[in-house]
Amino acid sequence: MTLLVLLDYAAVVVFALTGALVASRAQLDIVGFAFLAILTGVGGGSVRDVLLDRNPVFWMADPTYLAVASGAALLVFFTAHLFESRYRALLWLDACALSVAVAAGAGIAQSTGQGIAVVLVMGVVTGCMGGLLRDVVANEVPLVLKQGELYVTCALTGSVASALAVALDAPAGIAALACAGVTFGLRAGSLLFGWRLPVYKSRPPRV
């Protein structure tokens, strides 16, 4: 199993867990859990593969992805009540999933010879689209757009780290590690210490 496949697996499993947690908040049945888990787990990578015209889409080449996402849904269905705060569990699992998904997305774009701009976009798309689909379908405020938190910024900075590592001739494994580390570090800092960028504040219009 190559590194990129491993990253894709990790992203699918952890994003599937977050999808199932959202399903638990919406009190769905087990098939609803699996639906949201699979949508969240493979959504970002599917958009990436369709845009990059990779055929077949990664989970169609190897349906094990669907099996592990369903397994994650089953696990959460029977254990979600053990978490003291499902929302905190969701936030931290989502942070883990984001980190590996960004590394997978940037790595796959690099491995297909894309330029740096497309690498950055694919890192962000792979990282953010699964969670965005999950939140839009479940009608929650998208994490991507939450005020006063770093989210897309983490994905973008992680992708930049990956691109830098590759530009310095680092092996793909180091680039992926740097990417996931930077992404997770920034997101964790935002969740724990409130790290943020200045937001737009409307000022009164000029007279």
The radius of gyration of the chain's CA atoms, rounded to the nearest angstrom, is 17
Distance CA 126, CA 122 (A): 6
The distance of closest approach from Cβ of residue 58 to a copy of itself in the complex, given in angstroms and rounded to an integer, is 11
**Of the two residues 10 and 38, which places its CB atom closer to a copy of itself in the complex?**
38
The distance of closest approach from Cβ of residue 105 to a copy of itself in the complex, given in angstroms and rounded to an integer, is 14
Q: Nearest to residue 16, comparing CAs of 84, 140, 109, 100?
A: 100
* Whether 102 contacts 126, CB under 8 Å: yes
Residues that bind a copy of itself (CB under 8 A): 23-24, 26-36, 38, 46, 50-53, 55-57, 60, 63, 66-67, 77, 80-84, 86, 114-115, 117-118, 121, 124, 128, 132, 136-139, 141-142, 144-145, 147, 150, 152-153, 156, 196-206
**Of the two residues 10 and 36, which places its CB atom closer to a copy of itself in the complex?**
36
Query: What is the chain's length?
Result: 207
The distance of closest approach from Cβ of residue 145 to a copy of itself in the complex, given in angstroms and rounded to an integer, is 6
**Of the two residues 169 and 201, which places its CB atom closer to a copy of itself in the complex?**
201
The distance of closest approach from Cβ of residue 24 to a copy of itself in the complex, given in angstroms and rounded to an integer, is 5
CA distances from 36 to 20, 91, 141, 177 (A): 6, 16, 16, 28
The distance of closest approach from Cβ of residue 171 to a copy of itself in the complex, given in angstroms and rounded to an integer, is 25
Q: Nearest to residue 23, comparing CAs of 46, 41, 45, 48?
A: 41
Those residues whose C-beta lies under 8 Å from the C-beta of residue 198, and which sit 6 or more positions away, are: none
Interior CA angle at 4 toward 169 and 70, to 5°?
A: 160
**Of the two residues 3 and 52, which places its CB atom closer to a copy of itself in the complex?**
52
**Of the two residues 81 and 171, which places its CB atom closer to a copy of itself in the complex?**
81
